[in-house]
Chain A
C-alpha cells in the first residue's frame, strides 16, 4: 500500500477529528479517547453531513446534521439507521500518522 504521511497524533485533539483534503474529497481522521485513530470519508451516508464535525464517543461519531451515529471501525450506521461510509486504511508509527492513498486512487480510476 502507498502510505502517505498526514501529520502526527497530537495534531488531533482527543475525542476530536481533523480533515485531510484529497482530490476525491475530504477524509475525516478521528482520534478517540484512548488514542485509537480511524479515517473515514467525511460524508454521512444520510445527507452528506461532515462527520468530522460531530461528537466522538467510544469508537463512533454522531453526525452534526441529523444525529446519525456512524461506527468509526466499520463505517456503518449504528442503531436503527442503515447506510455506510467508506473507511480508509490508517496506520500509526509512533506519533506519525499515515493513510493509504491507493485505496483512493483505485476508486478514482
Chain B
C-alpha cells in the first residue's frame, strides 16, 4: 500500500529531497505538497540575478508544472498550512483543505528578521526573501529614486547591487565596522567595500538605524548619530530566523529551529524537518550545500535507509554580484594557536588569506581571485597536513608540483612560461634569461631589467628564489637593505606589509613586524609615519613626535637653532600687498635676513622659535599660508610668464603652475617634490631638471619627470604629451600618487623611477587610463585630509607647547 507523504513548503530543500526519493523509492509514497507561495519550486539563490535584470524568473525555475504532473505529485499553490493535528495525523490549510499523512515533512524555511524600529511597517519597507519581494523591488526601482538597504551581509549587498543595476541610488547601512564581517576579515571587507563603492553604491558602516519615517509611506531613514538619508524604498536584509512556529504550535520540539536528529527526524517519529527551519546538532543552516545534504539524508530515511546521517559541514560563501569575486570558508579569526599566510596584490585587487592550525587549513578568505577556493576547501575538508607545501600553498594548486615540495624545488619545477610577477606579467623564463644574459646580481637589477617584483612586491620571494637557482651561492638574498638597524625588513617589504596586514599605527607596525627596538629610531619612525599617512589618509592619526623638527614646527631649523619661514606664493606670483606684509613682518620681528629662493619664493631667516606663531599670525592676516619649504611634500611650482606676457609663450604656464600648486599643496610625499611649468621649449622655468616639469608647446603639454639638480644632475625623462590642461593635471597628479604609494622614504622621484623603470611609469600613467584614474582618485581622497594650513592651525593654538619654554628658573638667584 502506498503511504501518504505530505510536504509543507516547496523550496529548494524539499525539491531536492523529492528528486532523491523518486530515485530511491519510486512509487512508495503518494506525495502532496502545500506551498504558501503561489508558484512552483524555483532557485532562490538566483533571485539576485533576477533583481539585477541578468536573469528572468522563467530561467530560475527548478521544477515546472510538468514535473509535478509527470511524477503524480499534487501541488497546492498559495496554500499556507495553519495547523498540524498529530493525533489525527492531518494538516489543514488556510483555504480549508485537510490532508491526512503517514509521514510529514516540514520545510517552512525561514522568515526575514525585521528590526523593530519605529516605521518598520510603513509602505515601502520590504524584506528580501522571495520572488514577491523581488518583484516589489523591481517595481519600486522604476521610479529611479533612492533606496536604502539595511544590512551589509550577503543578502543586503546582493540586493543593493541589484537595485543599483536597476538604476536606483542605493545606500547600504551596516551596523558593524566592515561589510560581511561574518564571512570576511576586515581587510577583505575593506576591499569589498571599495568595490561596492566603485559601483556607485554608498556604504555607511557602524550605522545604527533609529527610525524609518514618512507621511503614509517611506520618506527617510534616520540613524542614531542624527544622519538622515532620504529614501522611497527600504530593504531590510539583516538576517533570517527559522520559521518554526507551525511546528511549535503542534507541540513538536523547537529550539532555534525544529529540533531534528541526524536523520532529520523530529521528536515525533513521523515528522521530519529540513531546510532553513531545521536545527540539527544545535546548528541551523542558510546556505544551499548543507540544505541539499539534509535533503539527501531525509530522502534516504524516507526510503527506509535509517543509517543515513547528516554531518556538519562548513560551506564556502560566495557573493553573487557580477564582477566581485569573493570566497570565504571556515574560521578565520586570529588566535595564538593559529598562523596565517597572506598574499596581496594591491594593483590587481587580490587578497588571499589562509588560516592554519596544527599545519591544517581551518579558514580561507579569497578576494579578487577565487579559482583555488575549491582546492583549499578540499584540503580543509580532508584535514590535509600542508607542512610540506606550506611555502607555496597560497599560490594555489597549480604551483604544487609532484613529491619534492621544498619551495626551491617547487620554483625549479615551474615551467619557463609560469607567471612570476602578476602585476607586470613577467614569466620565469624572462627573469632567468635576464639574470644570465645581462649578468644581473641584485634584486634591484632584476627589477630594473624585467619589472618583476617592481610593483606590489608580493612576488619578491619567488624572484629571489629564481636568483638563487640561477646564480647559486653568489647571490645573497640578504642583500636587501633593511630600513634601519631596528628591523630586517627593507622599505618595500614594510610598505607591502603595512597594507597586507592593515597596520594603522606605528606601534602596530613595530609589533607585527617584530621591530628590534622598543620605539624605533630617527630613521624608521619618520618613514613609518609617512607610509601610514600615505596609506591610510582617513584613519591614521599623524604622529608628530615621529616627524623631523621642521615638519613638526612647520619651519626650517637653521644651524643656530633659529628658524626660517617661507610663505606660499602660488606659482611664484606675488603683489604689492603681499610684499608690504612681508616687509612689515621683517621690521616688526627684526628678521636678520630676507632672501629669494631657487623656487621663486621669499625666505625669512633667523626667526626665534618663540616668535613663529606671531610671525605666522601676521602673515596669515595678509592671506599667506605655509609654503611647506620644510616638507617631504609638494614644495613649489615654478613658472614663467607664459602666453599672458611672453611673445614666445604657447600656453598659460603661470595659470597651470598655480592650478597644480593649489590642487596639490599639503600632500606628503616620500621626499620633497619640486615642479615647474615652462610656457615654451626655451624653458625659462627650468622644468627639465625638476621632479615633475611641464613644457608647454603649441599642440599641448609635454609632461616631464625624474629630473634632478642637486647631489645628482639629471635631465628629465618625457612622460608624454597631452592636449589639454585638465589632462596635464590628471597625469601629474596620478604620477605623484604612484610615487607616493611606491617610493621609499627620502627617495626622490628620479631614484624611484630608475628603480622601477621609466617604461613602467609610462605604462601605468600614460597607457592605462583606468589605473591613472584610480591613482588620481586616491590622491584626491587623501587631499581631503591633507589640505589644512598648518600655520593658521598653530596661530589658533595647536601644539602651543612647541613654542614656549616649559619654565624659566634660576634667574632670581642669578640676580641676587
A-side residues, CB < 8 A to B, are 4-7, 11-16, 18-24, 26, 29, 33-34, 47-50, 53-58, 62, 64-65, 67, 69, 99, 101, 104-105, 108
Contact = CB atoms under 8 A, between A and B. Distances in A.
A20 B545 contact: no
A55 B559 contact: no
A23 B811 contact: yes
B806 A7 contact: yes
Contacts of A55: 521-522, 525-526, 545-549
Contacts of B545: 13-16, 55-56
- Count chain A CB atoms within 10 A of each CB in B520, B545, B559 and give the residue with the most: B545
A55 B520 CA distance: 10
B809 A99 contact: yes
Given A50-B561, A57-B517, A64 B548 contact: yes
Given A13-B545, A15-B545, A105-B813, A20 B806 contact: yes
A5 B561 CA distance: 26
Given A57-B517, A62-B521, A62-B522, A22 B809 contact: yes
Contacts of B517: 57-58
Contacts of B398: none
A85 to B, nearest CB: 14
A21 B809 contact: yes
A55 B524 CA distance: 11
B95 interface: no
B747 to A, nearest CB: 18
Majority DSSP secondary structure for residues of A touching B: mixed
- Count chain B CB atoms within 10 A of each CB in A6, A14, A53, A104 and give the residue with the most: A53
A23 B810 contact: yes
B804 to A, nearest CB: 8
Interface in B781-816: 801, 805-811, 813-814
Interface of B: 517-522, 525-526, 544-550, 552-553, 557, 559-561, 801, 805-811, 813-814
A48 B801 CA distance: 22
Contacts of B807: 5-7, 20-21
15 contacts: A5-B807, A6-B806, A16-B801, A20-B805, A22-B809, A26-B805, A53-B552, A53-B557, A54-B522, A55-B525, A57-B522, A64-B548, A65-B559, A104-B810, A105-B810
Given A16-B545, A99-B809, A65 B521 contact: no
A18 B806 contact: yes
Contact of A33 (B518, B801, B809, B811): B518
Given A7-B806, A15-B546, A21-B805, 6 more contacts: A18-B805, A20-B807, A21-B808, A50-B561, A53-B561, A55-B526
Contacts of A50: 557, 561
- Count chain A CB atoms within 10 A of each CB in B517, B525, B561 and give the residue with the most: B561
A29 B805 CA distance: 10
